[in-house]
Amino acid sequence: MKKCVSQSTDTNVKLYNDLTDQLIPYFFREDYLGEKRYFDSLRVHNEDLYIEEKTKAHNEIFNHPEKFCNLYIDSTKSKNTYFATSSKNFITGHPEAHINDIKSRKELLKEFSNNTDIIKKLSTRSSIKANQFNLCTAKVLDLAEYDKHTNECEIGVVYFSEIVFDPSKRTALVFVDHRIKKDYYGRNAVFKLRLHDNYWEIEDFTLVSTS
């Protein structure tokens, strides 16, 4: 699939844009293509054709704003993220968690030494606004605009935490919460990104909760 590499000179804005460019096709499901049921059926019955058709559809809407669905940014509802209420065992892992889950969590965090800083930043909601996004596969609107566009296709509602950088500033952690629609169910996760060829690539992630 084509990538939309952010040209922003602001490191944080660039990271959020590069991250969202990947979240849209890989974490937010196929809603952004406007034909979700078709792709759900393909995924179940023919994995190879699903990948082929999804890639084709993705590239067809790439840089064609008239084909975009709406993604809403919720940056003002609360100062805290869901992570703030679920972070108790994030660093060490839940005492009853499977050993592989604990190992995976430690691998995700191994380049980040300041545990207090991790919890604080992943628990604090980013104040990034819709007008700071410049994506190639979706139109980004602030959540306050939601009721004005109820008849338009949508990708859901998302918010981000502040960014945790490692000492080199080339690896980062971000908490992301995504809901299918406003006040609907969704899921959230902590993503690990690494700067590679001027693009913040998702390297790993761990789900925090689903609903």
Asked whether residue 4 is assigned to any structural domain, the reply reads no
pTM of the entire predicted model? 0.88
Asked whether residue 158 is assigned to any structural domain, the reply reads yes
Q: How many structural domains comprise the chain? A: 1
Do 69 and 141 contact (CB within 8 A), yes or no?
no
**Hey, what are 158's tokens?**
């998302």
pLDDT tens column, 90-113: 655 555 544 455 566 677 787 887
Burial label, 43 (beta-carbon count in 10 A; 0-12, 13-18, 19+): middle
Residue at 65: amino acid letter:
P
pLDDT tier at 78, thresholds 50, 70, 90? low
Which helix or strand (DSSP H or E) is residue 22 part of?
Answer: helix 11-26
Transcribe 64-110 into DSSP letters: -GGGPEEEEE--SS-SB-THHHH-TTTTT--TTS-HHHHHHHHHHHT
pLDDT tens column, 129-161: 999 999 999 999 999 999 999 888 999 999 999
Asked whether residue 1 is assigned to any structural domain, the reply reads no
Domain ranges, residue 152: 11-210
Asked whether residue 3 is assigned to any structural domain, the reply reads no
Asked whether residue 87 is assigned to any structural domain, the reply reads yes
Q: What is the mean pLDDT of residues 74-81?
A: 72
Asked whether residue 89 is assigned to any structural domain, the reply reads yes
Mean pLDDT of the chain: 86
CA angle (100 as vertex; 84, 186 as ends), nearest 5: 40
Asked whether residue 40 is assigned to any structural domain, the reply reads yes
Asked whether residue 6 is assigned to any structural domain, the reply reads no
